[in-house]
Chain A
């Protein structure tokens, strides 16, 4: 059974990775799940300078989901290289650095500073965070900016470049095509869906920013629809995420056109979800007579 997935000139050992922002920099979950079995760790986003993040409260639970407004709190590029890389270097699974910024130059600067590190397998470019005032979502909603940013970053690295797309747009396929035209090696669908909860007792939004990013099972149909449409619009691999809680959810994404997957919010509920999802995918493949991940594609 071949579970590997090729992106650019490199290979992910299996399709099940853990999503950025839900797994820290790996170390936090090391006692709770076998990191060597992960298809990839997509790190917490890294910006040029450290960011404290948004005011609290930053979380609120919703029916079958949660809304976060973390605001890209992170250690910055220097902190990443000094504090996080030593542990990440010890891992056998691919480490994909999630890169964020406010300006095009910020994204470029992060890649320039870290690209020499062999421990970094590739980049996931966060152009879809709904929780920062500048950059983030603003990049991800404009095809012209997406193509230009992708093209700029493409020139800076030979490592795989994955653009992470937002569902908060009219036509996600236009953004995906722009990423492909700019030289992206894959796209990831989806980042969180903009959502809001109002505290009726305090008569104000439950989180200070008002809106935040909705994740969890509540957004799974949105993610699957995005993967389905984007996979038909581009010729590069599509990485699916959004509300995957178990192997059945993962298989849905794979049948809809995903080549690889990310487990996000489910890590908070069961830190070993990725291991269980991988085992479930293998079982499904055995029963269906599939021998490789690409066997999933083209069923509808």
Chain B
């Protein structure tokens, strides 16, 4: 990990309230992996005070750039969304762990909701490049929240809307339940999004007896494992009661999480 200054290369709206920002990545900083995140110091003034965490949504080795997808939902992200190309970001990255590559014979089922799309999209493209046939399922309320995404070469992207205004009518997990048993035979579930969706993905994976990883989100202060603030509670039988999202995660085997 490294604390570095980065130039904003581009910023655009990709869906209602959702932005994608691309920025430079330093030559001497390690290559980030899907699931890892960064924190951005929004400004010098003490309101907002804390750095803001964002999952990486892409990394371009040739261009030496990386991207995040974020939702504008508070003072920090409002300031971020108003920043222009060429402005400087204070970045701390790469932080946390990453998704595990599945075995060659496995079918990755990637489930995203809201800003959970960022890390899931990054992983889906990595898997696609590596020759897997990932199925990316993105669930949201209605079609205004659906971003325009380039298709995967070997896999596919499935949109699901609660109101049926585009794609599959129902939740992401409703869609998973409609999959053919042959697609589920060697499946591996990866999820990132709202807690309710993550829990549903976990329950789905347990019911089908397939492995499942989930990227968690919690309010964060340090981002490097020092403050013990961003913990999640672990299931009974685990060695510890809590794990740090920033250092032990954000990606966990879903079975070790205590889902309440």
Interface residues of A (CB under 8 A from B): 21-24, 28-29, 31-32, 44, 52-53, 55-61, 63-66, 68, 70, 73, 216-218, 245, 265, 267-272
**If A22-B222, A70-B229 touch, does A216 touch B1 (CB 8 Å cutoff)?**
no
Interchain CA distance A74-B157 in the complex, whole Å:
43
Q: Which 5 A-B pairs have the closest CB atoms?
A: A24-B226, A52-B241, A64-B46, A28-B226, A59-B229
**CB-CB under 8 A for A61 and B49, given A53-B228, A56-B233, A272-B3:** yes
Q: Spell out B's residues near A (CB within 8 Å).
A: 1-3, 41, 46-51, 90, 92, 218-233, 240-242, 247
Given known pairs A216-B49, A269-B51, the reply for A59 and B92 (CB within 8 Å) is no
Query: Could you tell me the distance between the alpha carbons of A60 and B74 in the complex, rounded to whole angstroms?
Result: 14
Partner of A60 from the list B92, B219, B230, B242 (CB cut-off 8 Å) is B219
Given contacts A32-B1, A60-B219, 6 further A-B contacts (CB under 8 A): A24-B224, A53-B228, A61-B219, A66-B221, A269-B49, A270-B41
Q: Please indicate the chain B residues that have their CB under 8 angstroms from the CB of A218 in the complex.
A: 46
Q: Tell which of A53, A270, A272 touches B231, judged by Cβ atoms closer than 8 Å.
A: A53
- Complex: how many Å from CA A70 to CA B222? 13
Q: For B227, what are the chain A residues with a Cβ–Cβ distance below 8 Å?
A: 21-22, 24, 59, 68, 70, 268
Q: Secondary structure of the B side of the interface?
A: loop
Find the B residue at minimum CB distance from A218.
B46
* B74 nearest CB neighbor, chain A only: A61
A271:B47 contact, CB within 8 angstroms: no
Query: Chain A residues near B219 (CB, 8 Å)?
Result: 57-61
Contacts of B41 in A (CB 8 A): 269-270
Q: Which residues of A are found within 8 Å of B229, using beta-carbon distances?
A: 58-59, 68, 70
Chain A interface main SS type: loop
Across-interface contacts of A31 in B (CB, < 8 A): 1-2
Q: Are B2 and A66 in contact (CB under 8 A)?
A: no
Which residues from B are CB-within-8-Å of A73? 228, 231, 242
Q: Find the A residue at minimum CB distance from B226.
A: A24
Listed residue (B1, B218, B219) with the most chain A CB atoms within 10 angstroms of its CB: B219
Indicate if the CB atoms of A66 and B224 lie closer than 8 Å: no
- Out of A52, A269, A271, which one reaches B50, CB within 8 Å? A269
Q: Which of A21, A61, A217, A271 contacts B92 (CB 8 A)?
A: A271
Which residue from chain A places its CB closest to the CB of B45 in the assembled complex? A64
Contact yes or no, B226 A65, CB < 8 A: no
Query: Taking CB as reference atom, which chain A residue is nearest B234?
Result: A52
Known: A22-B222, A63-B47, A68-B227. A52 touches B232 (CB 8 A): no
Residue of chain B at shortest CB distance from A63: B47
Most chain-A Cβ atoms within 10 A of its Cβ — which of B48, B92, B218, B231?
Answer: B231
Which residues in B have their C-beta under 8 angstroms from that of A265? 49, 221
